[in-house]
Structure 1
Amino acid sequence: MNYFLTYTVYVLILSVLMGISTWKLFKKMGYSPLLAFVPFYNYFIVLKETNHPKWWAILSYLPIVGPIMMSVFHIYLMKKFGKSLIQHQVLTVILPFIYMATVNYSKDVELEDENELYLTEEEKASQKKDTFVGSITFAVVFATIIHVFFTQPFGIPTGSMERTLLVGDFLFVNKWSYGYRLPMRPLAIPFLQGTILDTGVKGNPKDDPKSYVEAVKLPYERIFPFNKPQKTDIVVFNYPRDSVHVSLDRADPYVKRCVAVAGDTFEMREGKMFVNGKPEVFLGDQEVQHRYIVNTGSQLDIPGLYKIFGFLPVQEGQNQQGGFVYYFQGLTKKTAAEIKKLPQVIDMQEHIQPKGESAVAYRDEVRQKIDTTNSIFPINSGWNQDQYGPLKIPKKGDVVVINDKTLPEYQWIIKNYEHNTLENKNGKIFINGKETNQYTIQQDYYMMVGDNRDASLDARFFGFVPEANIVGKPMFTWMSVEGAFKDSQSSYQADGWRIRWDRMFKATNTGEANKTSYWWIAVLILVLFFGWEYFVKLFGKKKTEEE
């Protein structure tokens, strides 16, 4: 309810600004000045008086789409009163309520009598230009509506889900899979996630210009949450520990497999995963990979192997015997067996971190400042990515014990995800100013891990993924381009790029080895697009002939 209450307040503020800056103009158009203050209906009148589709008014206060549509409607209104020059339009967009107010309170402003205007060739050309710009604008608006409210494209830049999802796969994500999460930053540039561009200013991403207005914000709310992420689902979510973006829906999007849900116990033993004490069951489309160390007597033909096996992150060095050592990441058992048969290979073994080898990274040479991003979660666990847990995934309603030992496990939940104040004073824990030794979990959490586990920055490092961070479930791969992204884990990259036609328009989240093809959707879109264009041209031609 907080979301809709805050949203209503924003709508009322914008409606008051609209009314104050245009009430006299509404009166000149023959309407009660009070109607300029009525949400949606004020823009309905503007569209009616400027001969545009009146149903567009419903778009005027939608998040992200609304500001675009409002600017368009304001321009229509200003043209109605003769303010049609480019400088007028720029002022209307940049300073909408201020500029419209100057027109509103001007003594000499009058309605343009469009029926009596004699259009010169220059004015006709200007009208055509406006029509073209309008078409482009509404194409952008339509795409924005799809992007914001239904499905979002998402690219795979790293190999953490290889070979299930390949580097260079582009997916469509269904935002309604687990209930629709309403936009939290309604004033934003369409299609951009968090920042406008990477400026590289002082190497700090926080200095990059944001694609949204941070001050205009709405609380978290999810509607129609009929489903929750299930074990084995491939899920898109916002990175929970993003230090650049305060708004969780603007944090970097990640894609991993949900391996444990709220209430489950997650564990890694000798690099093998167990949930609730049971070994994982591999799905038909799930190709789990591991890290291997390979000693050879002579150099391997890595480019040649890349062409045979595809994704092949590898680092090369020399061993003490004068031969070569290769550190492979992301090898399936089948690929590992084939590489082991190569004549240059002396020995090959899976690399598993032993127990007690804690994975803690530091940001300084004296090992004082812990790098939480690259350290195993929780910091004090003594675990590593192959020997991990057991760790229970928090569930809404769980009452957990809070002390110095458990605080690293729950502090992000208490302070960052569920927005409480948290202090640790001489071993005493204070939550929202009150001393306590327990805390009640307010939402469900999930464990998200990559199928390529030895090359995956996942929940073993950044911890639990809150339900609030869930975006949706990938539907299908609409494009797959080898070489589209440079993988930092690999010393060899593909020469150029190529389209993987066999992966295009294939379902993503079925769990089956043979994926359902959605090529019919691509064909249908093309038929509708070109068919509609042909129909419009044919209809226009017939209408001209009749006249």
Structure 2
Amino acid sequence: MSETPSSTVPSAPSSGLKETILTVVYAVIIALVVRTLAYEPFNIPSGSMLPTLLVGDYLFVSKFSYGYSTYSLPFGMQLFEGRIFASEPERGDVAVFKLPSDNKTDYIKRIIGLPGDKIQVIKGLLHVNGKAVERRRRDDYIYRGVGGHSLPIPRFIETLPNGREHDILEESDEEFKDNTMVYTVPEGNYFAMGDNRDHSKDSRYLSGVGFIPRKNLVGRAEFLFFSIDGKVWNFWKWPWTIRFNRFFQSID
């Protein structure tokens, strides 16, 4: 008895495309959750936080450090008012916040004044609640300018009232920002300054930055994950422009 060849059963349409789309969707959702609740990347476009942060530094900011506000959410979603799971910044934290004048622009500065504090700068020396903070000289910071020119800038170690230390740059003691009024930090607000004291637009400028409302805090700067002295898209120059020694440095 002859056998009839078995007919070939056509296979079901490939589900590869569907799986790829789902994988991309899941990846986007996970990235949004991490970016919203855990860590968000930022890059440094200016020298206002020299010598702590350099132009071309890329860092992670912990979103959970100070709790969450509407500025923690993607796409400008307005789901609630104020902050939830809130905790207070510590004096000396390097923090990212939304510029109060437009609530859109990201700024990064150091928290100097807490609610109720009185802050003043006299001849370049920071005063907190009527007392001058300790400041001691150290070696100059060498700024590398355009064309490879080097400029030495006076560098100091500043010790805040809670004992936290950080480096600052201070070239002059005679400008407006070196001799200020007394700023009384309102309740629910903070006073922030750049470490590059003569080249930072910060809370000393009440009409430009001013006090930082608690709800405008985005998070605390934690560590660097990349740094480059040049344009990041010029990848062919990376062997000479990437600052490998700054990778994974913590931000103090």
Which of the residues 228, 244, 250 maps onto 1:501?
244
Trace 1:462-481 onto structure 2 (pairs within 5 A). 462-481=209-228
Unmatched runs of 5 consecutive residues or more in structure 1: 1-116, 189-211, 243-247, 290-300, 307-311, 313-329, 335-349, 355-383, 396-443, 486-494, 510-547
Instruction: Count how many residue pairs are aligned between Structure 1 and Structure 2.
Output: 219
Trace 1:66-465 onto structure 2 (pairs within 5 A). 119=11, 123-124=13-14, 127-181=15-69, 188=75, 217-225=78-86, 227-242=87-102, 248=103, 251-281=104-134, 303-306=147-150, 331-333=153-155, 350-353=171-174, 384-395=176-187, 444-461=188-205, 462-465=209-212
Higher relative contact order (CA 8 A, sep 6+): 2
- 2:219 counterpart letter in structure 1: G
Q: Separation in 2 of the partners of 1:228 and 1:303?
A: 43
Cα RMSD of the aligned pairs, angstroms, is: 3.1
Q: Is the 8 A contact 2:227 2:242 kept in 1?
A: yes
Which residue of 2 is the match for residue 8 of structure 1? none
Cα offsets for 1:366-391 (capped at 9, x unmatched): xxxxxxxxxxxxxxxxxx21110112
Unmatched runs of 5 consecutive residues or more in structure 2: 1-8, 157-170
Higher-strand-fraction structure: 2
Q: Is the 8 A contact 1:184 1:217 kept in 2?
A: no
DSSP 3-state at the match of 1:176: coil
Q: Is the 8 A contact 2:59 2:222 kept in 1?
A: yes
Q: Separation in 2 of the partners of 1:468 and 1:388?
A: 26
Q: Separation in 2 of the partners of 1:465 and 1:471?
A: 11
Q: Taking structure 1 as the reference length, what is the TM-score of the superposition?
A: 0.37
Q: Separation in 1 of the partners of 2:186 and 2:42?
A: 28
Which residue of 1 is the match for residue 4 of structure 2? none
The 3 A distance-change label for structure 1 pair 303 and 181 is same
Q: Separation in 1 of the partners of 2:45 and 2:181?
A: 29
Q: Separation in 1 of the partners of 2:139 and 2:250?
A: 16
The 3 A distance-change label for structure 1 pair 183 and 469 is closer
- 1:234 counterpart letter in structure 2: V
Q: Separation in 1 of the partners of 2:49 and 2:27?
A: 34
- 2:121 counterpart letter in structure 1: M
Q: Separation in 1 of the partners of 2:47 and 2:212?
A: 20
Residue 182 of structure 1, CA deviation: 5.1
Cα offsets for 1:42-72 (capped at 9, x unmatched): xxxxxxxxxxxxxxxxxxxxxxxxxxxxxxx
Which residue of 1 is the match for residue 161 of structure 2? none
Q: Is the 8 A contact 2:69 2:80 kept in 1?
A: no
DSSP 3-state at the match of 1:161: coil
Residue 145 of structure 1, CA deviation: 1.1
Q: Taking structure 2 as the reference length, what is the TM-score of the superposition?
A: 0.76
Report which of the two structures shows the higher radius of gyration computed on alpha carbons. Answer: 1
Q: Is the 8 A contact 1:184 1:219 kept in 2?
A: no
- 1:260 counterpart letter in structure 2: G
Which residue of 2 is the match for residue 482 of structure 1? 229
Residue 130 of structure 1, CA deviation: 1.6
